[in-house]
A = this chain, B = another copy of it.
């Protein structure tokens, strides 16, 4: 779960299938890019078809390499899954941690800013797919749950919770139950990520609602409920 991922540094936000169009020799093309290409391909496919239904050869093919090459970088499909999740979330961690610290203005604005930042960073990037992956695979790989809760859920709840708390303390918000408010704000964001990679990907029916617009309005609506 750890080893192979230390190689990966730059985290491309490309939407998957790595470009093979560059003029480069087919072999030895760029060894140091391989792991990230494989992780991207794997995230795409695992999120699309599910871990079990994705053949490792498909992952390799989408990354532009042969079946065997995958195993030069990850010792098994399962380790690949863990690496995919870990690598994507590792970048999440600590990202938003600091920013809320010394905000001077109204809490509503702070909240909007923090959530919007996170949303921008996540929804349009492949990271949005990780949430689907986690929802679908945790019960088969409980180690993932532990990691996810510790590294993403808890820090996230803390962050948003502290902002709500600030609002209450400054008299901007009513004295609501903090955890509840946090979930009210965040759950729809996660849900939209899941939607994007499931029903949203086959039935454009619901796409009449623009996700970014919705989240903005949703946050607005909940903040309205918190006000005074």
- A208 touches B (CB below 8 Å): yes
Interface stretch of the complex, out of A89-97, A111-119, A142-150: A142-150
A186-220 residues with Cβ-Cβ distance < 8 A to B are 187-188, 190-192, 194-195, 197-199, 201-203, 205-206, 208-209, 213-214, 217-218, 220
Minimum CB–CB distance from A156 to chain B (whole Å) comes to 11
Minimum CB–CB distance from A114 to chain B (whole Å) comes to 18
Interface stretch of the complex, out of A16-24, A34-42, A130-138: A130-138
- A151 touches B (CB below 8 Å): no
Q: Please indicate the chain B residues that have their CB under 8 angstroms from the CB of A190 in the complex.
A: 191
Q: Which of the listed residues A135, A139, A214 has the most CB atoms from chain B within 10 Å of its own CB?
A: A139
* Copies of the protein in its oligomer: 4
Partner of A139, one of B138, B149, B201: B201
Contact at B138–A199, with CB atoms within 8 Å? yes
Contact at B50–A202, with CB atoms within 8 Å? no
Q: Please indicate the chain B residues that have their CB under 8 angstroms from the CB of A222 in the complex.
A: 184, 221-222, 225
Given contacts A181-B221, A183-B218, contact A198 B149 (CB under 8 A): no
Minimum CB–CB distance from A139 to chain B (whole Å) comes to 5
A11-37 residues with Cβ-Cβ distance < 8 A to B are none
